[in-house]
Amino acid sequence: MPIPFAISARHKGFNRAEVVDQNFIEFVQLWQGDVRAAPRDSEAVLPGSALDARGFRELLESQLISRHLDLMARVLRVQNKVFYTIGSSGHEGNAMVARLARHTDPAFLHYRSGGFMAERFRKIPGMDPVMDSALSFAASKDDPASGGRHKVWGSKPLWVLPQTSTIASHLPKALGTAVAIEQARRIGHQLPIPDDSIAICSFGDASSNHATAQTSFNAAAWTAYQKLPAPVLFVCEDNGIGISVKTPSGWIANNYQHRSHLDYFFADGLDLAEGYAQVQRAVEHCRTTRRPTFLHLRTTRVMGHAGTDFEIEWRSIEELFAVEATDPLLRSAGIALESGLYAKDDLLNLYEATRKRCFAAAEDADSRHRLTSLEDVMKPLAPYTPAAVRAEATRADYADKRLAVFGGEAKLPENLPPRHMAIQIGQALHDLLAKYPEALLFGEDVAQKGGVYTVTKGLNKVFKGSRVFNTLLDETMILGLAQGYANMGMLPLPEIQYLAYFHNACDQIRGEAASLQFFSNDQYRNPMVMRVASLGYQKGFGGHFHNDNSITALRDIPGLVVGCPSRGDDAAMMLRTLMALAKVDGRVCAFLEPIALYMTKDLYEAGDGQWQFDYPAPDQAMTLGEGRVYGEAANDLVIFTFGNGVPMALRAARTIEKEQDWQVRVVDLRWLAPLNDAFIAAQARTAKRIVVLDEGRKSAGVGEGVITAIVEGGCGGTPLQRVVGANTFTPLAGAALLVLPGEADVVAAARQLAKR
């Protein structure tokens, strides 16, 4: 049914929201087509359509709700009653995806998903898409999705996981969730959703070009190529433009319809009668074949990218007229009238009643409480229940499983001689996989090879490939998989092979995993313990990518727990606490394993064996923030450090004690985020002199946080020296030691303090 472009021509002086609104009204008023006999609920809305009359009416209502929420937001934003104006206008056809999927299919949505959400709300009686959405637009504390922290499409009962930025960053975890749905069966894990669920992920045509999207499509195809199920429905909502940059005509179809192992479907999202069967085929294909499916949904964008996007300033009026003429609500109005389901007045009454409903909900939402204290804002960011975490970390009720895993009482690690860190981390991982049947360990080379440093050696044989397995070489997808497993109630232990490689995938933790508790008001969690081989000083194998000492990118992520042990027994106890934090409080955790200490056995002289320790029994754990102190009574000099710095400081302390006749205390922080400011201040309070030894870089390193805690703790007058790495990348071979701090630097700092 052609829609005349001239319909908009009389409204050049209006803002485009007013034009789009008036277009619908005038289209209905001026419509003069033939009217058919109204179909019954179960009959096709139009001849040849797969959509029945009842379905069309409900989809139309969902489309109208989405449209009027957009119009309401444009009006009330200028009154400071609404704080978000990125709209869904032109994308209302995504309501078809919601109707044809289930509310138990986890959904990761594009920000133009108003139609999808309105329709999905029908799946559970008594829920109100208008009020819930209005509360989110108004940043109300009563917002059931985020508690007023962001305008998000999200719902716990509807399995819509909140997204705050959907420029493709959500695709890896959507694929991860799809893989997790199938993985659960292989490990005997009870899913929180039906076994034949699919994961739905929507995004724009411009976002499909993003590296994070491309890595997800590649990983999906890589998975399907190996005949592994990955029931993810990628919904590309193609409106032909990204803010102001046009997508080349035909780009999406040409780029995706012939990709191997990514099954392509097209659907017209501008026409409910035409597009319904097309969407239905894609959804059913994904559910029955369990293969990654790419649904190319034709949409348009009317009213601009957001309320601040004045398209008339960069787009010709003729082009705007043409775009506005493709408005899917005009086509839906035509179907409503032609089918005889609605008379003109009835349709306009429904349109205005929906407007009234959306504005009334917005005014109600504006009267509700908003977040007014920092405590309220931060409440879901980093939940911590110390007693419960401690109880979980020290829970040792799996003795029979341990005996089976380790091969008998005599082979239990606590009954063996002291060992170095790499061995004890491996033993702790055996322990944890025995303790948590829902735990999975994965990454590059972690299975048969046992990792680059053989830390995970033997796990694959004991726990098999369903729980310990290799991934493709892609850190973004490793962390996307981790989020997917977490979404399905598992406890993932992803390995990032080197700290430098984490930076390639940082946004999966910063923008996605660590933010989910915050932006879902703690309704959704991404519990995980990310293991990372880290830091410098390894010999014979180095250079920047294998000796990365940049910890800042991790410590800057709100809510992330970062632990860094310096010895094997601490590593085992820290891992138990991290897993308990993930299990009990849903925390996202990073476990930094100092590569140079993996095989270290000696402390002072070759063969002394003083850096090997007894394995702690499974009922022993470490409290979050708890440091370790060497020489607690000493106060002439206190050295604060972590990781490689601990044995370095202990060796330097021997020299300093001889040279200066001082007693030296060494404080191992162990926990790098959050730093335990009170502990640091307490240790500093009794110090006559302080050295802060930070193997990271001078700028934005851990040492800056330590010094801040010392000063703010009232010890700013204590003589202090900082020993820290240079602000440079780490070079190869022996030159690396020129940029990293060493024992001689610690001794030199003490000499400087002695002169004061």
Give 595 or 10, the one with higher predicted confidence. Answer: 595
Q: In this model, does residue 14 exceed pLDDT 70?
A: no
29: confidence class by pLDDT, cuts 50, 70, 90: very high
Q: Taking the mean position of all CA atoms in its chain, how far away is CA 364?
A: 32
Beta strand 637-641 pairing with 664-668:
parallel
Q: In this model, does residue 1 exceed pLDDT 50?
A: no
Output the CA–CA distances (angstroms, integers) from residue 64 to 53, 154, 193, 357, in the order listed. Answer: 16, 19, 30, 11
Q: In this model, does residue 599 exceed pLDDT 90?
A: yes
Q: For the sheet with 637-641, list strands across it.
A: 628-630, 664-668, 637-641, 690-697, 720-725
**DSSP element (H, E) containing 242:** strand 241-242
Q: Taking the mean position of all CA atoms in its chain, how far away is CA 194?
A: 23
Q: In this model, does residue 3 exceed pLDDT 90?
A: no
pLDDT of residue 541: 61
E-strand stretches of 52-106: none
Averaged pLDDT, 297-309: 86
Q: In this model, does residue 539 exceed pLDDT 80?
A: no
Q: How far apart are the C-alpha atoms of 642 and 621, rounded to whole Å?
A: 18
What phi and psi, each to the nearest 5 degrees, are found at residue 146? -125, 0
Average pLDDT over the chain, rounded to an integer? 93
Q: How far apart are the C-alpha atoms of 644 and 455, rounded to whole Å?
A: 18
Q: How far apart are the C-alpha atoms of 695 and 693, rounded to whole Å?
A: 7
Closest by CA position to 598, among listed 641, 534, 685, 684: 534
**DSSP element (H, E) containing 720:** strand 720-725
Record the tokens describing residue 196, joined without a space. Answer: 């034949």
Averaged pLDDT, 248-260: 95
719: confidence class by pLDDT, cuts 50, 70, 90: very high
pLDDT of residue 315: 86
Q: In this model, does residue 6 exceed pLDDT 90?
A: no
pLDDT of residue 542: 63
Residue entry with tokens 């009835």: 346
pLDDT of residue 199: 98
Averaged pLDDT, 333-346: 97
pLDDT of residue 2: 34
pLDDT of residue 203: 95
Residue entry with tokens 């040849």: 48
pLDDT of residue 53: 96
Averaged pLDDT, 148-160: 94
Q: Taking the mean position of all CA atoms in its chain, how far away is CA 88?
A: 23
Tally of CA atoms within 13 A in the half-sphere of 161 that contains its CB: 29
pLDDT digits 0-9 by tens, 392-424: 999 999 999 999 999 999 999 999 999 999 999
pLDDT of residue 84: 81
The answer to whether the beta carbons of residues 571 and 598 sit under 8 Å apart is no
Q: How far apart are the C-alpha atoms of 108 and 612, rounded to whole Å?
A: 47
- Kindly report the pTM of this predicted structure: 0.94
Q: In this model, does residue 9 exceed pLDDT 60?
A: no
pLDDT of residue 569: 98
pLDDT of residue 307: 72
pLDDT digits 0-9 by tens, 282-292: 999 999 999 99
Closest by CA position to 538, among listed 547, 528, 548, 530: 547
pLDDT > 70 in the chain, percent: 97
15: confidence class by pLDDT, cuts 50, 70, 90: confident
Q: In this model, does residue 13 exceed pLDDT 50?
A: no
pLDDT of residue 166: 67
The answer to whether the beta carbons of residues 627 and 574 sit under 8 Å apart is no
Q: Please report, for the chain, how many H helices and E strands are present, in that order.
A: 28, 19
Averaged pLDDT, 359-379: 95
pLDDT of residue 729: 86
pLDDT of residue 236: 97
Q: How far apart are the C-alpha atoms of 597 and 45, rounded to whole Å?
A: 70
492: confidence class by pLDDT, cuts 50, 70, 90: very high
Residue entry with tokens 């990709």: 259
pLDDT > 90 in the chain, percent: 85
pLDDT digits 0-9 by tens, 115-127: 999 999 999 999 9
Give the number of other CB atoms < 10 A from CB of residue 525.
20
Beta strand 199-204 pairing with 232-238:
parallel
pLDDT digits 0-9 by tens, 255-268: 999 999 999 999 99
pLDDT of residue 83: 87
165: confidence class by pLDDT, cuts 50, 70, 90: low
pLDDT digits 0-9 by tens, 199-222: 999 999 999 999 999 999 999 999
